[in-house]
Amino acid sequence: MASTYSSRLKLELMETGANANTWGNNTNTNLQTVDAFSAGYLSKDVGGSANVTLSTNNADPTADASNKVLDLNGTLTANIHVFIPAAESNYVVFNNTSGSFTVTVAATGHSANGIAVTQGEYAYLYCDGASNYNVKNSLSRLSGDVTIGGTITEESSIALKENIRPLENIDGLYSINAYKYDKIDGSQKDETGFIAEEVYKHLPELVQLKDGKPESVKYTKMTTYLLEAIKELKKEINMLKRKK
């Protein structure tokens, strides 16, 4: 009686009464595969200019794709794709490469639906298992309340920037309204905030799109516009004071 294999972890699914003499070994191999998928670590040299496909085999804890943490290293000479199996799964990916090129992680056969991992950073990626096998950053969207016992910062060194220029055309800020609202799903009451569609109409750079439509507002970026608005008001107040 032939075994079959699970679609995600490639575990051996043994038929009742099968593998009487090797059942123990086969089960241990399955457990080792689960262990690798749960906490396995792979250091993979992806240097060069060629795309890299992680190896995958049935009931094989030593296959590249059987590991939870993927340390992608080496010196890049071109932008590359690293392909994971086209199956629902999740990985912790560390872009440990050098060279000024990008690493995009995608499901095999679906290069257009991958996501780039920033060099020197970790990403927790999820392949959704849908027909086009989208690979997403699992931490890019959180629901509910989040409490952080510390300070949230964003990289802002001048060493990371170019084409630096003053922020202009902030008039759109004065056309945006603040609202109090309840969530339709009942999860939150008496919330305050903006309407993404309204913000997008006046300051589109402050809105995140989903499927080409406004979905969320970049609230932290709003502070830069508010700062410039305050400075303008300060100038007007000073001018009025001088006229008295």
pLDDT, one tens digit per residue, over 201-224 is: 999 999 999 889 999 999 999 999
Closest CA to 193 of 202, 182, 204: 182
CA max distance for the chain: 100
Q: What local confidence, expressed as pLDDT, does residue 132 receive?
A: 87
Query: Which residues are within 8 A (CB) of 95 and not within 5 positions of it... i.e. 6 or more apart?
Result: 72, 103, 117, 118, 119, 120, 121, 122, 123
pLDDT at 141 over 80: no
What is the arithmetic mean of pLDDT over 133-152? 79
pLDDT at 142 over 80: no
135-137, strands of its sheet edge to edge? 41-45, 69-75, 89-98, 122-127, 135-137
Distances in whole angstroms, Cα of residue 138 to Cα of each of 90, 94, 169: 8, 14, 34
Considering the entire predicted model, what is its pTM?
Answer: 0.65
3-state DSSP of the chain? CCCEECCCCCCEECCCCCCCCCHHHHHHHHHHHHHHHHHCEEEEECCECCCEECCCCCCCCCCHHHCCEEEEEEEECCCEEEEECCCCEEEEEEEEEECCCCEEEEECCCHHHCEEECCCCEEEEEECCCCCCCEEECCCCCCCCCCCCCCCCCCCCHHHCCCCCCCCCCHHHHHCCCEEECCCCCCCCCEEECCHHHHHHHCHHHEEEECCEEEEECHHHHHHHHHHHHHHHHHHHHHHHHHC
Q: Angle CA(110)–CA(116)–CA(121) in degrees, nearest 5? A: 140
What is the arithmetic mean of pLDDT over 97-124? 94
What is the arithmetic mean of pLDDT over 106-134? 92
Taking only the tens place, the pLDDT of each residue in 25-56 is: 999 999 999 999 899 999 999 999 999 999 99
Mean pLDDT, all residues of the chain: 91
